[in-house]
Chain A
Amino acid sequence: MMKLNPDREDKLGKLDDKHEDDLEFALQALNHLEIASSEKFQQWVDESDSHQALYAECLFYREAGLAAEGAGLPDVEQEWMKFDPSPEQTPTSRKRSLPTWVWTAAAAIFAVALLFPWLLHRNEEMRLAKLMEKHVVLQTENGEPIVVDQANKGQIESLGAQTHQSGRYGVLNMRQSASKVKLMSASTSNTYTLNIPKGKAYQLLLEDGTEVYMNTGSKIIFPNHFKSDSRVVEIEGEAYFKVTKDPNRPFIVKTASFSTKVLGTEFNIRAYPQGESNVTLVTGKVLVTSGENEANQVTLSPGQNATCAGGQLLVKDVDVENYIAWKDGYFFFEEASLEDIMNEISRWYNVRVEYGNENLRKLKFKFWANRESSFQDAVVLLNQVGKVDVRMVSPGQALVMPAK
């Protein structure tokens, strides 16, 4: 628990006059969070390992001292009584009197009555959020959200769209047959939002024939009809685009931090709310802009990647395969930090990850796995490297520990 070994005294200074001041300082930080967390104390701790060791030693002696005094320790029996989850034995339930109960119920009923309209609305929101956790959901500007992967043909056709399966991908096809286009062309332009839940990937075929492969936990906002002078979509998360050539109508992908403009080409965009944002070009040419009034601009050639960090765009040559392997169903990391790898894996399998030790995040790995296998399989592969020991605490919770 604490980095301290009594037999490794070499770090600790000898107890002479010179160290009396250090000792006094360390003791002051004990029991005083405001001192322990002060700039001055932190500087002192950073100054030398012996300072850190001395403070750790004092913490240990305090613990022993509290145990020796007896009175300084929490009463575990009593804490357990307070905690004990079995309802018939909790002291609070025994004490609870009828009037309190009646009063609480009355207050609750009153509160519910007041909140009723709001609760209905809230209920609706929660229902939608629940749906979007598990399913690919299409939201229209006004109307019922449509669960795309539990295809209700009629609903989807009413939008002038279709769904089908293509290889590993389910596809939402927004291209309409020529006759339908005529019929629908008079209808107004609508904006849709397609949400891909964690653990799924999906393909979207836009009106102009552009293919969009949507990675897990992502969303795209797009119109049913593009304008005559440009084709604009917005994404959050990760997507691979195969844009249909149209010199008269540039294709623009917006994300929170930058936008990418193309005529016809293939590229990958990654813009999850957490982590770096990237544009990686596979073929063709793209123009990436960021910042206010598009202050920063770079043009990418195939095999180049632009990273957006603090509004600045950085371009480097990359192995494209690292960035687009997901599209073909793989996790592929040439040399990545454990944190990046776990972020990606946990997003796909919808698992929360905790680290037993912060330094583990920075460990570098070469890692390759099939996305269609289970999380357990990926973990076995990671553990085989021998640097970490990833354990499942519960189905949705993993813990990373140093390898034994």
Chain B
Amino acid sequence: MPNQTTYRKELERLFKENYNRLYFFAFNIIHDAENAKDIVSDAFQEVWENHRDKVPDNQLIVPFLHVCVRNSCLDYLRRQHVSQRYEEYVLHNLSEMDDHDLSEREERMAKVLKSIEALPLQTRNVFKRCFLDGKKYKEVSDEMNISVNTIKTHIIKALKSLRGEFSKED
């Protein structure tokens, strides 16, 4: 096919522009990094198989990718024998695809990123363990050798600055 190279470029652009957003969409549902990656790649595979010579425009294909990812996540949940109730929760609360306020979301993400960078070292440490490593307060308390109450204080502090609520005393 003559336009194979252009097509590949198009697909590459689509892949790179949307990968992260789709990845987190899946990750937030299934909480499993490796499987989330596979699910996203499979969604692009579907595009690749059904649109051999032309990548449809973003308006069309991005929501479609979302639906593919969502459906694969639901399949994954079923294979994991996760409760029906969680599936419904996902369908009603985690599968919204507002393409309208995407830029608003990015703006907010940038702000939060900055706030995280600005966290005091100890607070950031606690934040990382609780939010990213999925550790319990008690575990973090043992690891860092600080009390559970101190951890709670750090978490509240982190949350306040991520929300942009700076109290005068701080």
Contact = CB atoms under 8 A, between A and B. Distances in A.
Answer yes or no: are A and B bound together in one complex.
Answer: yes
Contacts of A181: none
Contact of B132 (A36, A62, A83, A399): A62
A72 interface: yes
Interface residues of B, number: 78
At the interface, is chain B mostly helix, strand, loop or mixed?
A: helix
A356 B67 contact: yes
A33 B108 contact: no
Given A6-B108, A27-B130, A61-B112, A358 B83 contact: no
A2 B16 contact: no
A1 B100 CA distance: 10
Interface stretch (A73-81, A266-274, A328-336, A380-388): A73-81
Contacts of B163: 6, 9
Contact of B8 (A42, A85, A358, A397): A85
A32 B113 contact: no
Nearest to B15: A80
B146 interface: no
Given A3-B96, A69-B132, A83-B44, A74 B23 contact: yes
Contacts of B24: 1, 63
Interface string B135-160: 01100000000000000100110011
A144 interface: no
B92 interface: yes
A88 to B, nearest CB: 11
Interface string A1-36: 111011001000001000010011001101111001
Contact of B80 (A33, A63, A66, A77): A33
Contact of B50 (A36, A69, A397): A397
A391 interface: yes
B81 to A, nearest CB: 10
Interface string A76-98: 11011011111000000000000
A357 B100 CA distance: 14
B64 A354 contact: yes
A69 B80 CA distance: 29
Contacts of B61: 393
A118 interface: no
B51 A394 contact: yes
Contacts of A69: 128, 132
A80 B16 contact: yes
B50 A58 contact: no
Contacts of A83: 15, 41, 44-45
Given A3-B93, A61-B131, A356-B63, A76 B20 contact: yes
A62 B20 CA distance: 13
Contact of B71 (A45, A354, A397): A354
A33 B96 contact: no
A237 to B, nearest CB: 26
A401 interface: yes
Contacts of A33: 30-32, 80, 82
Contacts of A65: 116, 127-128, 131-132
Contact of A1 (B64, B97, B112, B131): B97
Interface in B31-49: 31-33, 37, 40-41, 44-45, 48
A39 B85 contact: yes
A356 B56 contact: no
B19 A79 contact: yes
Given A58-B131, A64-B116, 4 more contacts: A15-B165, A68-B116, A83-B15, A394-B51
26 contacts: A1-B21, A1-B66, A1-B105, A5-B104, A6-B164, A30-B131, A32-B31, A42-B89, A58-B131, A60-B108, A61-B131, A63-B27, A63-B109, A65-B128, A67-B113, A68-B117, A69-B128, A69-B132, A76-B20, A79-B37, A84-B12, A86-B8, A358-B91, A392-B60, A394-B56, A397-B64
